[in-house]
Chain A
Amino acid sequence: MAKAAKSKKATPKKAKAKKPVNVTRTIQVDELSRVEGEGALLVRIKDGKIKECKFKIVEPPRFFEAFLRGRSFTEVPDITARICGICPMAYLMGAQQAMEDAFQMEITTEIRDLRRLMYCGEWIESHVLHAAMLHAPDFLGIDDVLQLAATNPEVVESALQLKKLGNDILEVIGGGRAIHPVNTKVGGFYKAPTKKAVRALADRLKWGIDASIELTKLFGTFDFPDYEYEYNYVSLTHPDEYAIVEGDVMSSEGLHIPVREFHKHFREKHVAHSTALQGSLREDGQPYLTGPNARYNNNYKQLTRRCKSLAKEIGLDTVCHNPFKSILVRMIETLYSCEEALRLVKAYEEPDPIFIEAKPRASEGFGMTEAPRGVCFHRYELDDKGLVVNATISSPTAQNQPQIERDLYGVVERSMDLDHDALKWRCEQTIRNYDPCISCSTHFLKLTMIKE
């Protein structure tokens, strides 16, 4: 594996220059690149003070929650999976979990393990795409993955193979389709993947462990902008494992609640400059952070020994308050996913039964999983036939949006001495710290029509 190319600078490629303070500077990025969906950014600085700082989500809303109404519970996971092509598991499994919660279904350990294995596949492919191919160029002072393929071809080669490994896990379990699997259902799976096909992933996962360690070590040599924030980290937590598919909601400020109480403590509101709702604490309206750093900080002790030792080697402490280092945390989680997937693959036996029968009843169900970019909440109200009466889905990017704006403010405040292009670069890099999935976050917009 390559060393970081010597000539590469981790700082933006344009030269820094002191700017006089008594001017108005506007940093405007109309179409953010290297993120999923359409977002924009506006920062207005006057006389050295930030007057306006907005992370705009301009992707058209898609009204998923509205058109789920009246649909059968059996269809919901497959419909919600279409919210995202990058993290469909977060929607599919969150919806399944909510239905199973509503109908009080007990899922077997074997089915649960198979779901966890599948989710590891999603973490690997999503984390590697973002960290190695979209975020790493920011730290190397190059424009994109295309240039990365020229300067560090072995990084791109490795990332492509890791991403394929993640996809292949999803395909083996998901019925031949990585993005929108056809083998999953409320209660379990339609068909058990064969032991042969699942066990065949083992050798590639062993390679994946080595490959993710090499990439992580390389990224550990990057220079990281000096920015820390006292975040309120919100993630799932589970007594027995590093939480991915299920758990309680916890915050680093001491909250520990079951998923069904999520909206008692967290709310979403609409702001004019975003088609996505924005998340905040119900109690004081403060933003919070969800995603890799939140999981790492809240659940560090449940990582494997190999992950902890690699984290130490690259200088990551047991807590990480620098959002720019989320690229490292994503890679630690990639290693964790490879290790965890290997453990599950080795232990795999074809589950019997492969699903638990659902018995619909009028009820309310809740679900939450850890999408690669943070917690994804689902709530469904169902009638006695299992048809959806009401649905609420909170995507991780919508929840993170106010915190992203706050961080932008903080980063700009500390980077006033950068020239226009360098500051613009730094702002975009800041947004990419959260791997925002803008398409996911705009599935809902409250529309009020007043007719006179």
Chain B
Amino acid sequence: MSLLFLGVGNLHRGDDGVGPYLAHKMAESGVLDSCGVEVLPHSGEGASLIHLWEDQKKVVIVDCMKTGLPLGTVRRFDAVKEKLNSGVFRYSSHLFGLAEATEIARQLGKLPPAMIIYGIEGISFSFEEPRSAEVDAILPEVEFAVIKDFQQEV
């Protein structure tokens, strides 16, 4: 059983890149090394997410979301306790992304014992658009929360 951090999204699609950006940043700084956390960027493709979650003790995920909340709003989902609505997290490929993978894993009894998802409200999702300032502004807070989530485990 191990600990996993996933930064989900596409680095080249504006705000959608916030997850992988944070994953790269945290991997480079080694900030989660002392907690023994594996840090990975991920496209959000559903099937591989379910496989990655297998045998994990705790998974923390950061992804961009599109719900109509003000830009840069952060929502913390306890995925073990609450159901996720399809379409909250953006993933174009065959509409099988983070929310769908979470709910399928729940149906199949494959959710890890602890899974926290941070959704950051975004607005720009086109290729090579920059991330919004509001999204970047909230990142230190999200990073701090992720570290705290893992520190509870050690």
A residues within 8 Å of B by Cβ?
Answer: 33-38, 60, 62, 85-86, 129-130, 133-134, 144-146, 149-150, 153, 156-157, 160, 163-164, 167, 178-179, 439
Contacts and interface: CB of A to CB of B under 8 A. Distances in A.
B100 A36 contact: no
30 contacts: A36-B92, A36-B94, A37-B92, A60-B127, A85-B43, A85-B45, A85-B93, A129-B47, A129-B96, A130-B94, A133-B47, A133-B94, A133-B96, A134-B94, A144-B95, A145-B96, A145-B104, A146-B100, A149-B103, A150-B107, A156-B104, A156-B107, A157-B108, A160-B47, A160-B108, A164-B47, A164-B48, A167-B48, A179-B43, A439-B92
B127 to A, nearest CB: 7
A133 B97 CA distance: 13
Given A156-B108, A160-B47, A146 B94 contact: no
Contacts of A160: 47, 50-51, 108
A190 B48 CA distance: 26
Contacts of B93: 36, 85-86
A146 B51 contact: no
Interface of B: 43, 45, 47-48, 50-51, 86, 92-96, 100, 103-104, 107-108, 126-127
A129 B95 CA distance: 12
A38 B92 contact: yes
Given A163-B47, A164-B47, A129 B107 contact: no
Contacts of B45: 85
Contacts of A149: 103-104, 107-108
Nearest to A62: B127
Contacts of B43: 85, 179
A133 B47 CA distance: 10
A150 B43 CA distance: 25
A399 B25 CA distance: 42
Which among B47, B92, B93, B108 has the highest number of chain A CB atoms within 10 Å? B47
A153 B47 contact: no
Given A85-B45, A149-B104, A129 B51 contact: no
Given A34-B95, A38-B92, A157-B108, A144 B47 contact: no
A157 B103 CA distance: 13
A36 B48 CA distance: 16
Interface centre among A35, A37, A144, A439 (most CB of B within 10 A): A144
Contacts of A144: 86, 95, 100
A153 B94 contact: no
Contacts of A178: 48
A180 to B, nearest CB: 11
A145 B100 contact: yes
Contacts of A153: 107-108
A156 B95 CA distance: 15
Contacts of B48: 164, 167, 178
Nearest to B100: A146
Contact of A146 (B47, B50, B92, B103): B103
B128 to A, nearest CB: 11
Nearest to B99: A146
A172 B96 CA distance: 25
A164 B51 contact: yes
A36 B107 CA distance: 24
A33 B108 contact: no
Nearest to B45: A85
Most buried by A among B43, B48, B95, B100: B95
Contacts of B126: 60
Given A134-B96, A150-B107, 5 more contacts: A36-B94, A86-B94, A149-B104, A160-B108, A179-B43
B95 A33 contact: yes
Contact of A34 (B94, B107, B108, B127): B94
B140 to A, nearest CB: 31
Contacts of A37: 92
Nearest to B48: A167
A153 to B, nearest CB: 6
B71 to A, nearest CB: 22
B91 to A, nearest CB: 11
Contacts of A167: 48
Contacts of A85: 43, 45, 93
A129 B46 CA distance: 10
A142 B94 CA distance: 16
A17 to B, nearest CB: 28
A164 B45 CA distance: 12
A178 B48 CA distance: 10
Contacts of B95: 33-34, 144
B107 to A, nearest CB: 4
A86 B108 CA distance: 24
A330 to B, nearest CB: 14
B135 to A, nearest CB: 22
Contacts of A145: 96, 100, 104
Contact of A129 (B50, B92, B94): B94
